[in-house]
Amino acid sequence: MKSRTTTGAGLIGVLAGVTALTGLATATTAQAATGCAVTYTTNDWPGGFTAAITIQNLGSAINGWTLGFTFPDSGQKVDTGWSATFSQSGQNVTATNVDYNAAIATGGSVSIGFNGSWSGSNPTPASFTLNGVTCTGSTITSSPTPSPTPTLSPSASPTPTLSPSASPSPTRSPSPSPTPSPTSGKPTVAADGTGTYRTVQAAIDAVASGNSSRKVITIKPGTYREIVTIPANKPYITLQGLGSSPGDVVIVDNHYAGGNGGTFNSATAFVNGHDSALTNLTISNDYVEDGTTVNQQAVALNLNADRAVLSNVRLLGDQDTFLINDSARTYVKSSYIEGTVDFIFGGGTAVLNDCDIYEKRSSGAPITAARTDAAKTYGFLVYRSRITGAAGNTTQLGRPWGPSAQVLYRESSLSSTIKTSQPWTDMSGNSWKNARFFEYKNTGAGATVNSNRPQMSDSQASNYTPQKYLAGSDGWNPIG
């Protein structure tokens, strides 16, 4: 594996002829005079590479940008990109902003990147332009440095803490202790080239369609910035992180509804094959709400798979983190889910057992937005879990995306982040009072009982167990 990092301001071409050493990164730093500075980092392997680009604006503030550069070799090609719209004509490449990163203040920067392929050779582009202005600079230094260690988790998702007005933290951390996983042997996926594949999607693509037995894809610790899809014709796939905690393996992207075809198309991971499993890893959408852009929904996991099991995972996002579609039944065990608005939502059936659910916005919002069909008895069950948030008395348990929404919080710890007088609210003309919203034997500062908090009776609760939520017509019981 060849790893190369070039940092500069249009003088990158001075080092274009330098051959990167295997296992080393070549760093070039230039003090830019005007216009822009560019950092271009590549991880290379035979026939392919990933490029991460940081653009720093050193001129006047801009709102709308295009970065241009030329591949030195005719065999170099952009395949798929992120955080920008890439186009290529011959050896000339342009990357144009998407809505959420169009503005760059003076001294500000944006990060974009792409996966590419090459034949012949893969030299570094010689220069870059920002809105037609060549990035220029002077004072070049170069020294070999070790290849960077992959980032283990997105910086946008710190470990949650409660505000002074909130109730004490749960006795266990939001990221539960992982089930032991294999740490020896060659992983299926490793970004550094020590596995069979460098991307999670490449490993999924290699699984034969219509497989009838479990396929375990092991993933070496690191950050995998990509959009991952387990297609409907590939059931029984397990994605298993090999780290000591779910934060060690992070699958992340930053699509959002307004720039990528709506909420359902904004996800980092699309899990469609039945009997899929995710364990000991993180799925994140690190798009950051700016408070002004419409359609800011940004899904981390879009789940269509029936009989899916998530164990010891983290699902990180802002609005609409975890989508459970109508066709899905899922069992989520000992996991962590965070977001801002409606961040557990959809028309499917889900049991969240022994999970930590965190409302990270200080102004609060509804946690769930169920759209359960009236013909379905079961929607979402939050069971023996812990609900916390960034501020006290701000967060609602949910609202009805559909008129027959069904949600039960059962035997869970509700911190003072919950709005005790009104924990349910209306949505899109659907009254929470007509929805099937209940609580049963919850505890904590946020678990008071009043006329706005329907409580299940013991006799009702006997029919609303995790096993009954998930059984369906086939008797599925992942709980054991």
* Residue 353 and residue 466 in contact, taking contact as beta carbons nearer than 8 Å: yes
Whether the predicted pLDDT of 474 surpasses 70:
yes
d(CA 36, CA 59): 7
Q: Which domains does the chain have, with CATH numbers?
A: 2-146 (2.60.40.290), 200-471 (2.160.20.10)
Task: Give yes or no: 320 in active site.
Answer: yes
Strands 66-70 and 92-96, bridge-based pairing: antiparallel
How far, CA to CA in Å, does 413 sit from each of 313, 369, 381, 427?
20, 20, 14, 25
Per-residue pLDDT tens over the stretch 95-110: 998 665 788 888 777 7
Mean pLDDT over 132-136 rounds to 84
Bridge partners, residue 110, by sequence: 55
State if pTM tops 0.75: no
Whether the predicted pLDDT of 88 surpasses 60:
yes
Task: Give yes or no: 44 in active site.
Answer: no
Catalytic residue among 44, 286, 306, 320: 320
Per-residue pLDDT tens over the stretch 240-279: 999 999 999 999 999 999 888 899 999 999 999 999 999 9
Catalytic residue among 286, 306, 318, 342: 342
Q: How confident is the model at residue 68 (pLDDT cuts 50, 70, 90)?
A: very high
Question: How big is the CA angle at 336 (ends 332 and 340), to the nearest 5 degrees?
Answer: 110
φ, ψ (nearest 5 deg) of residue 467: -60, -40
d(CA 355, CA 180): 18
